[in-house]
């Protein structure tokens, strides 16, 4: 027996309902995917706009390289450009001494703080090791009786140590104020 026209109508209605439900579900899914895409795009563009720290992010020629402050292990990491500007390009007139590490220069940071800058002149493995030991040791030993290592620069082949400037010279002069005296006698 053939189905009645009502039965056809009911079947068509059910099919239409299923199709509509699928269509709505697909549209909702598309909307959801689109809003997630917008959210990710927004997040990515915010991330790209945020300035990054680090020597690698040094912006050549801009003032940012002069003011940027990067701290690691309590020590400030200077760019070579910052130290060039602090010491008048490591000018001869700024030389205040010579030690085992190399020449020592007088300098001033952007905030006016006076510094002594030791520019390593020993290339090679031995110099590299000496630099590493000095940074490691002085970053751990913090005492009012020791010269304060403010920071360092380790950029390409440049190795530079930056200390607080001491009006009466370096550690040697403070430990042995009488010229030629190397050991304290008891
Ligand atoms: N923080 C400082 N402030 C002012 N002058 C400094 C400072 N550090 C060093 N100097 C000057 O630079 C000179 C050389 O110092 P440096 O410490 O490099 O040599 P050093 O005392 O012979 O030690 P080393 O042989 O371990 O390098 C000192 O004699 C002093 O005149």
* Numbered residues of the known binding site for ATP: 118
DSSP H helical segments within 50-123, as ranges?
A: 64-67, 80-86
Is pLDDT of 116 > 60? yes
Residue 164 tokens, joined: 């607080």
Q: Looking at the structure, do residues 73 and 161 belong to the same domain, yes or no?
A: yes
Residues 118 and 78 in one domain: yes
Is the pLDDT at 29 greater than 50, yes or no? yes
Please give the number of the atom of ligand 1 that sits closest to the Cα of 98: 14
List pLDDT tens digits, range 170-185: 555 555 544 443 433 3
C-beta 144 within 6 A of ligand 1: no
pLDDT range class, residue 81, cuts 50, 70, 90: very high
Same domain, 73 and 165: yes
Is the residue at 40 inside a domain? yes
One domain for residues 152 and 81: yes
* Residue whose C-alpha is closest to residue 87's, from 100, 104, 111, 70: 104
Q: List beta partners, residue 102.
A: 120
Mapping DSSP to helix (H, G, I), strand (E, B) and coil, where does residue 6 land?
helix
Question: CB–CB of 116/104 below 8 Å?
Answer: yes
The reply to whether 43 and 66 lie within a common domain is no
**Is there an atom of ligand 1 within 6 Å of 101 CB?**
yes
For a pLDDT cut of 70, what percent of the chain falls above it? Answer: 68
CATH code (residue 80): 3.30.200.20
> Looking at the DSSP assignment, which residues form a beta bridge with residue 162?
117, 151
Whether residues 8 and 90 fall in one domain: no
Domain-embedded: residue 184:
no
The predicted complex's ipTM stands at 0.93
Number of folded domains that form the chain: 2
Answer yes or no: is 180 within a domain: no
CA distance 119 to 126: 15
End-to-end CA distance of the chain: 126
Which residue matches tokens 């940027």?
68
Same domain membership, residue 79 and residue 170:
yes
Range of the domain at 42: 1-50
- For the cut 70, the answer to whether the pLDDT of residue 69 exceeds it is no
Pair 42, 63 in one domain: no
Same domain assignment for residues 100 and 23 = no
pTM over 0.90: no
- 14: buried, middle or exposed (CB in 10 Å: 19+, 13-18, 0-12)? exposed
Residue 185 in any domain: the answer is no
Compute CA distances 148 → 8, 65, 74, 97, 180, whole Å: 93, 23, 11, 17, 25
Instruction: Say yes or no: CB of residue 35 within 6 Å of ligand 1.
Output: no
């Amino acid at each position: 027996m053939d189905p009645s026209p009502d039965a056809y109508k009911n079947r068509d209605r059910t099919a239409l309902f299923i199709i509509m439900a699928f269509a709505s579900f697909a549209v909702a899914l598309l909307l959801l995917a689109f809003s997630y895409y917008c959210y990710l795009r927004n997040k990515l563009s915010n991330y790209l706009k945020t300035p990054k720290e680090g020597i690698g992010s040094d912006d050549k020629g801009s003032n940012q390289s002069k003011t940027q402050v990067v701290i690691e292990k309590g020590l400030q990491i200077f760019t070579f450009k910052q130290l060039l500007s602090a010491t008048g390009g490591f000018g001869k007139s700024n030389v205040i001494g010579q030690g085992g590490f190399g020449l020592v220069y007088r300098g001033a940071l952007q905030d006016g703080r006076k510094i002594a800058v030791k520019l390593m002149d020993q290339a090679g493995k031995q110099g590299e090791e000496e630099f590493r030991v000095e940074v490691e040791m002085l970053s751990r030993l913090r005492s009012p009786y020791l010269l304060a290592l403010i920071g360092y620069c380790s950029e390409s082949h440049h190795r530079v140590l930056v200390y607080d400037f001491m009006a009466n010279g370096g550690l040697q002069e403070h430990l042995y104020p009488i010229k030629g005296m190397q050991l304290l006698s008891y």
